[in-house]
Amino acid sequence: MSMITATTWVPRGFAAPFPSRYQFDEDEYERISKLANLQLEDAKEDLEEAQAEAKSKSNGTSGKSSKAKDDDDADDDLKEYDLEHYDDEVAQDQGDTMAMFGNVKSLVFHENDEDDPYITMQGGEEEDDEEREELQILATDNLVLAGRIEDEVAHLEVYVYEDEDDNLYVHHDIMLPAIPLAVEWLDLPVGKSVGTSDGKGNFVAIGTMDPDIEIWNLDVVDSMYPDAVLGQGAEDAANADKAKKKKKKKSKKVNDEFHVDSVLALAANRHHRNLLASSSADKTIKLWDLNTTKCAKSYTYHTDKVCSVAWHPVESTVLLSGSYDRTVVAADMRAPDAKAPRWGVESDVETVRWNPHDPHYFYVSTENGMIHYHDTRNAPKDPSASKPVWVLQAHDESISSFDINPVIPGYLATGSTDKQVKLWNIQENGPSMVVSRDLGVGRVFSTTFAPDKEVGFRLAVAGSKGAVQIWDTSTNAAVRAAFANKVTLPQMKQDGKERLVGLDEPETDSDTEEGESDDGDEDNGEEKGWESMEE
């Protein structure tokens, strides 16, 4: 079973033309050995907790048999993971503790391949040039990042999208500790890479079912561990020497320093590039300083899981957040104690987004398949009295993904667990559906527009079948008719066919289009399923 849970684009020009191979030097060995030792200690602690819990349940005459069974289970675990000698390993020098690397420390430090008795084949310059060419990323390429879970193995796939050639392929991937839930691109160096460039970066922050946030350098292939970790895991790694002497039990209590439950959403601040906002199932929002990789501030605006966050495109310190408590908050991060405006919706919030073309407004998608459009200047005194400008029944099931085109005003895409992707045209008199399409990705978990003007009509769609599709929506007749008066449309190819690029061939189950009539008149609002709420 394979599914893709989240996707995002990397704008053109940020990826290194020739990504480098991971360099495993002495400093890197020391860094990852601490992280690996920490993981082993956590595994041992979890095993001990499970054994203690099992023993506490045994009582009466069954006590002896339960104890014997626990001992047998423990013996099996000791054999499988060699935990019987675990303490001996921890006491040794770090260079000898990591069984997964064996005696790698004695192998990696050779000035050239001729000095290494373990290397029997010598690679020439021709092979190096060929490998560099395979890794090359052109200035006209986009990267698409996709969080995938396949057979209980989680990883991030880094795709290269070649628009002119209608080509999409996996460039490299990154192993993850748990199911990815949020993927956010960062444009500055973080962690161990700080100081290695001119301040321009190509990194990704990943939120998973684990409470820690991992940050990886996208310009390095085959990395073994993240460049930085935001959360308690980072604190433990930094204090690994102390942790060995006296293992500090991981805190599961909500606090101001790190998340203690799944990270559901991430939002990078494009004005203050060192700031990253995260929201979690622990009901908190955290503001991270990427220069220090520490939590700068923690906020508790909601009473349930916080599933979506978005920075205001102009007022750079205002953060929009949506929660399963069925409210949306727009709060100024500089004034955490001030009462923030709050809006209510009819069901659990799925996604919140600002309107980049008119930042006075924002959108909210919900579990009931609704889209709410609000004016921030019309904040209610009580969330139950919220009055959106309009509300739209976009899908019959949950709107699991939703995006607003950053280049084309009034162009929206919604994706749902009903397997449909719908494109919408928002005008002064309200929204109208342009296209409804099943792209063969299963239940839709992600719909994201490309960030660059040259590929502004491209939409990345992914879902429960594990397929990623890039849809050039400008090749759809209904889309061209709807937006011809808003932007200059790109030229169609001679064959006149719609462009849909993906790794898997989609199986289109339905193809329903609804656009303008021949005389240019729009259908009325009732037929489109939306209702104006503006007074």
Q: How many CB atoms lie within 10 A of CB 395?
A: 26
Output the CA torsion 109→111→115→117 (10° steps).
30
Closest C-alpha among 43, 34, 57 to residue 250: 43
β-bridge mates for residue 206, sequence order: 183, 214
Report pLDDT for 197.
59
The 10s digit of each residue's pLDDT in 239-250 is 544 444 444 456
Report pLDDT for 51.
77
Reported pTM: 0.78
The 10s digit of each residue's pLDDT in 275-294 is 999 999 999 999 999 999 99
Handedness of CA 109, 224, 246, 233 (dihedral sign): positive
Report pLDDT for 42.
66
Report pLDDT for 81.
43
Separation of alpha carbons 211 and 232, rounded Å: 8
Report pLDDT for 100.
37
Closest C-alpha among 410, 411, 418 to residue 393: 418
Work out the mean pLDDT of the chain and round it to a whole number.
81
> Bigger pLDDT: 523 or 343?
343
> Bigger pLDDT: 125 or 437?
437
Report pLDDT for 233.
83
Helices (H), 136-193: none
Report pLDDT for 200.
84
The 10s digit of each residue's pLDDT in 325-339 is 999 999 999 998 889
The 10s digit of each residue's pLDDT in 15-42 is 999 988 776 666 666 666 666 666 666 6
The 10s digit of each residue's pLDDT in 440-485 is 999 999 999 999 999 999 999 999 999 999 999 999 999 999 999 9
Q: What percent of the chain has pLDDT over 90?
A: 60
Separation of alpha carbons 464 and 524, rounded Å: 34
CA distances from 259 to 49, 281, 435, 525 (A): 22, 9, 40, 44
Beta carbons of 495 and 501 less than 8 angstroms apart: no
Closest C-alpha among 409, 494, 399, 410 to residue 446: 399
Predicted confidence band of residue 59 (pLDDT cuts 50, 70, 90): low
Q: Tell me: pLDDT of 140 over 80.
A: yes
Report pLDDT for 99.
39
Report which residue type is found at 129.
D
Q: Report CA 57 to chain centroid distance, whole Å.
A: 40
pLDDT, mean of residues 355-360 = 96
Separation of alpha carbons 10 and 158, rounded Å: 10
Q: Tell me: pLDDT of 375 over 50.
A: yes
